[in-house]
Chain A
């Protein structure tokens, strides 16, 4: 049993029959499998919320399309670019970690955190703008009352994930630089961050683009 194992150790530990026990059949460290299982369950949570949103939207006769090209769609597009770019900085962090370049890995992780913070700032600005215009969980000036609830729930849960991700990456960056964590920990935190990016790939078109205000 490899407890502090790298991919190589685990792969070499895999015997003829990988499912016969005593080896790691997926050839990943246990915490990586753990993160994957979390991601699958979290994906189901987001899917359920998205399906609920789709349900009320189809069933509502007057779903609002309040997002003007400028500033809302431009803002959300910039947020998408930031999140996609922060995925690349995580890829660089994982690479650096695997090369045992601890300072570089920590810097790439901090660049990712900066992306996450910027995403949050832009998103909160968007929220405040909508609240200013009178959007609440149960009412809004334009139409179907469920618009506010679905918007704030979906984007709020995603923003919570981004915020937790920033803290998580910060802990990993600090611990990896201090040699408390290894490259696997960086990789596992990277998995989480990519998932947060992935969820936004669905929220952006479904929430913003499908509700773009037409000229």
Chain B
């Protein structure tokens, strides 16, 4: 199991990049927990945590979900549409902010 072999079918990648990615994911998680207890404004906190989460998600998609090793047409078919749909969901936020501004002070 330790060494890569091409027995059976299919190409087997070396395990090292996956272990490195796993290490990064654990490290980013630790950084997130530490950040959560720093005195930042809520908005700043949100931006920092989401940036880290998006990096973590990208690592999972690229390595664990194998997309960087697959033909790039697959990623180009799936990802832009997904990102576009998610961004479109944010059109409702001006209304949410309106309610925020209507808060009794």
Give the B-binding residues of A (Cβ under 8 A).
6-8, 18, 25-28, 33, 36-37, 40, 43-44, 47-48, 51, 54-56, 58-59, 61, 69, 73, 77, 80-81, 84-85, 87-88, 90-92, 95-96, 98-101, 104, 183, 187, 190-191, 194-195, 197-198, 201-202, 204-206, 209-210, 212, 214
Contacts and interface: CB of A to CB of B under 8 A. Distances in A.
A197 B35 CA distance: 21
14 contacts: A6-B9, A27-B70, A81-B29, A84-B29, A87-B22, A88-B18, A90-B64, A95-B15, A96-B1, A194-B61, A195-B65, A201-B56, A205-B50, A214-B37
Main SS of chain B's interface residues?
helix
Nearest to B32: A205
B33 A40 contact: no
Nearest to B79: A40
A47 B9 contact: no
Given A28-B74, A55-B93, A55-B96, A209 B8 contact: no
Contacts of A69: 37
A198 B60 contact: yes
Given A88-B22, A205-B49, A205-B52, 19 more contacts: A26-B73, A26-B77, A28-B71, A33-B74, A40-B81, A40-B82, A61-B103, A87-B22, A98-B12, A101-B8, A201-B25, A201-B53, A201-B60, A202-B53, A202-B57, A205-B32, A210-B45, A210-B49, A212-B36
A212 B45 CA distance: 12
Interface in B3-32: 5, 7-13, 15, 18-19, 22, 25-26, 29, 32
A100 B7 contact: yes
Interface of B: 1, 5, 7-13, 15, 18-19, 22, 25-26, 29, 32-33, 35-37, 42, 45-46, 49-50, 52-53, 56-57, 60-61, 64-66, 70-71, 73-74, 77-78, 81-82, 85-86, 89-90, 92-93, 95-97, 99-100, 103-104
